[in-house]
Amino acid sequence: MDNERRKKLKETMKSFNKGEKEDILWFGDEVEDQEVISTGIEKLDNFFGGGIKRGTHTILWGGYSVGKTSLALQVIANAQKEGNICAYINLEKPVDKERFIAMGVDLSTLVRSDCTKNAEQALKVIQKLCKAKVVDLIIVDSIQSLTPKAENENKGKERELYEKTMGELARTMSEFCRRVNPDIYRAKAGIIWIGQIRINIGSFFTGATLTGGEAIKFYAYQIGFMRRGQKTDAPVSKYKEYFCDPDGKIRYQTKKELIGFDSVIKMDKNNSSKAFKEKTEIHTPFLYKNGFVNEVIESEEIPITIDPEASEEERKKIENYLVEKGLLRRERVPIFNDEIPKEPEKSVDNHLKEKPLEFQEEVKKQTKKLKQKIEKPKKKKRGRPKKEKK
């Protein structure tokens, strides 16, 4: 490109941007690469190419109870730690506050929307937040629960349930992506869409597909399909259970308890050069209590329990055996009963608190003297005891 032509191009671009009151045209080397929001789990960050890409759509879809919402909450928690503002648009089911807290979410800074009237209202929330550039991450849970206004009403009247409204959600999502995608890019906000499986019954085959139409798939930067792995790969916790055999001898057996499941995530679509290739998958342990983790670290000390079906006599016998072997302290309660009884705290009489300090001191002084008098041992008299008169 000669200097005169390049100079004219620059002037044209500058004039156009000035007329539009924003930068629309620029050279390729001036484009900044959008940052990512880390998931907080190293395995998943490597899988997605560092995390959730800002200014793009990421879809997590799969069957029920595979960890889609839990993963989204963990991403929120980690994003908040990095100083990001997050929004959670809940359209599906009520999520307890305890679940948010367990995943590490700071509810005081989380923007939340529940029970919007229709899909248009929920999508308008995203458009408003992105246009104002006030959020960094938005979770939509879920695509299937977006109900377009046309499904509920027809010319202002409520539709009957049996009336067919094929394709309404797909049309609504298509219009939304076309109109709001530039605002999402400029806001540098990462959007995570949670999707559900829809069984597609055809003439010759039955397959699972993502709801919401094809538009959201085209606009998606990455799509991850989630499912549960084999039960043999699920994380377990070991513990020793002591019991009395028929001969009265005390024995134990090491048992395993499922504490989660093996989560499998497959890359259905990928536009990142740093992420895993399409159709590849990873296995990540999911714990019911903590959510996704890189690996399960087994404790060196195996917990001890007593057979819950043991009688009271057998239970005491096993407890005495464990105390003799040094495996259990006398004051310690076995693992099947986590609530260890505590000694009640000594309380001061409430009526004394209301009295003046001088009165309280006098009462304590008199009480102390009385206690010493009662506890003072009586002196034994010397000599022979007196004989009783007849």
Residue 347 lies in a domain: no
Distance (Å, whole) CA 143 – CA 196: 7
Residue 43 lies in a domain: yes
Residue 141 lies in a domain: yes
Residue 141's pLDDT is 93
Residue 384's pLDDT is 57
Residue 1's pLDDT is 64
Residue 266 lies in a domain: yes
Residue 66 lies in a domain: yes
Distance (Å, whole) CA 109 – CA 134: 12
Distance (Å, whole) CA 57 – CA 221: 5
Distance (Å, whole) CA 79 – CA 87: 11
Q: How many domains does the chain have?
A: 1
CATH classification at residue 105? 3.40.50.300
Q: How is the chain split among helix, strand and coil, in percent rounded to 5?
A: 35, 25, 45
pLDDT, tens digit (0-9, with 9 covering 90-100), for 55-114: 999 999 999 999 999 999 999 999 999 999 999 999 987 778 899 999 999 999 999 998
Residues of the chain with pLDDT under 70: 1, 154-166, 201-207, 329-355, 359, 370-390
**198 lies in which domain range?**
32-229+259-292
pLDDT, tens digit (0-9, with 9 covering 90-100), for 239-276: 999 999 988 899 999 999 999 999 999 999 999 999 99
Q: How far is CA 75 from the centre of its chain?
A: 9
Residue 316 lies in a domain: no
Residue 305 lies in a domain: no
Residue 275 lies in a domain: yes
Smallest CA-to-CA distance from 51 within 174, 208, 190, 251 is with 190
Distance (Å, whole) CA 192 – CA 186: 17
Residue 338's pLDDT is 44
What is the C-alpha R_g of the chain? 34
Distance (Å, whole) CA 326 – CA 306: 15
pTM for this prediction: 0.77
Residue 375's pLDDT is 58
Distance (Å, whole) CA 50 – CA 37: 8
Beta pairing partners, 61 = 195, 225
Distance (Å, whole) CA 163 – CA 39: 42
For residue 7 the two structure tokens come to 């100079």
